[in-house]
Amino acid sequence: MTLYDAIFTRRSVRSYRMEAIDEQILKSIPEFLNETGPLFPQIQTSLKIIDRVTKKEKVNGFANVTAPYYAALYSEKKEKSDMNAGYLMEHLSLYLESKGIGTCFLGMASKKDAEEEEEGRSFVILLAFGLPKNSGVRKNYEANRLSMEELCAYKETPKVWVRQVLEAARLAPSALNAQPWRFVVYENRVHIFSKKPLTAKGKMGHLQELNFGIMFANVMVTAEQIWVDLDLIRLENITHMSLPGNQYVLSILPKP
């Protein structure tokens, strides 16, 4: 299974077998993330694996999913650092799914780390993972998501690749399954808006930016699969665009 295939089969797994997974898969996680280009390369990040099988390590906060392993991402606190974290962790989630390992984002849990704090990196997000007790995959039609018509405002008839990218974006997981994104669609470009400001304060504001990073990961995994070179960029000449009640975030454009 490829990362692209995993977009269509992944489900959030909340019940795990408390047993070890293949050691080679565990060892491959740091290498995979090193090979995954971040959304914003100027932001330093690190990942730590929390082992609940052999070491019985604990996590903090509201960890409502008991799993054999958790992946904790730490990051410098810079503009769009939460979005960058979501982007990296969705890649990891899809990678593990492709190996038969279930995952679940835990937005209210945490894992403080003094060493990371000393290096100037703070905890951002926790991903539970392990062998699912039940099926770790879903059928495409089982996804509880808004339809494309509900998410998109069509200005022109989109090309096939645009439809493929949007379908992957539609299937992206989000906190409380809120699907906070809306798309203004043209023939060969998409302008992305948020239903709520990304700068909102508090926990939900933090998760809002993470949500968009997760969705952008699906976009770029799809672009690689279908051999389309895309840019995710903020266009200054479009910030004035009005989609009532929504905030402009970024645009998806083919590279020149």
Residue 248 pLDDT more than 70?
Answer: yes
Q: What is the pLDDT of residues 54-80, one digit of tens each?
A: 877 788 777 788 999 999 999 999 999
Give the HSE-up count for residue 241: Cα atoms under 13 Å, Cβ half-sphere: 22
Contacts of 44 (CB under 8 A, 6+ apart): 75, 76, 120, 121
Range scoring the smallest mean pLDDT among 114-123, 178-187, 220-229, 234-243: 234-243
Q: What is the pLDDT of residues 76-132, one digit of tens each?
A: 999 999 999 999 999 999 999 999 999 999 988 888 888 999 899 999 999 999 999
Collapsed DSSP state (helix, strand, coil) of residue 233: strand
Provide the pLDDT for residue 142: 65
Q: What is the pLDDT of residues 174-216, one digit of tens each?
A: 988 889 999 999 999 999 999 877 766 555 667 889 999 999 9
Helix, strand, coil share of the chain (percent; to 5): 35, 25, 40
Provide the pLDDT for residue 16: 95
Higher-confidence position of 84 and 247: 84
Distance of CA 143 to the CA centre of its chain: 16
Distance of CA 52 to the CA centre of its chain: 23
Confidence grade of residue 146 (pLDDT, cut at 50, 70, 90): confident
φ, ψ dihedrals at 33, nearest 5°: -65, -35
Closest CA to 75 of 128, 116, 104: 116
Q: What is the pLDDT of residues 11-48, one digit of tens each?
A: 999 999 999 999 999 999 999 999 998 999 999 999 99
Query: Is the CB of residue 192 less than 8 Å from the CB of residue 183?
Result: yes
Range scoring the smallest mean pLDDT among 149-153, 175-179, 224-228: 175-179
Q: Does the model's pTM come out above 0.85?
A: yes
Residue 222 pLDDT more than 80?
Answer: yes
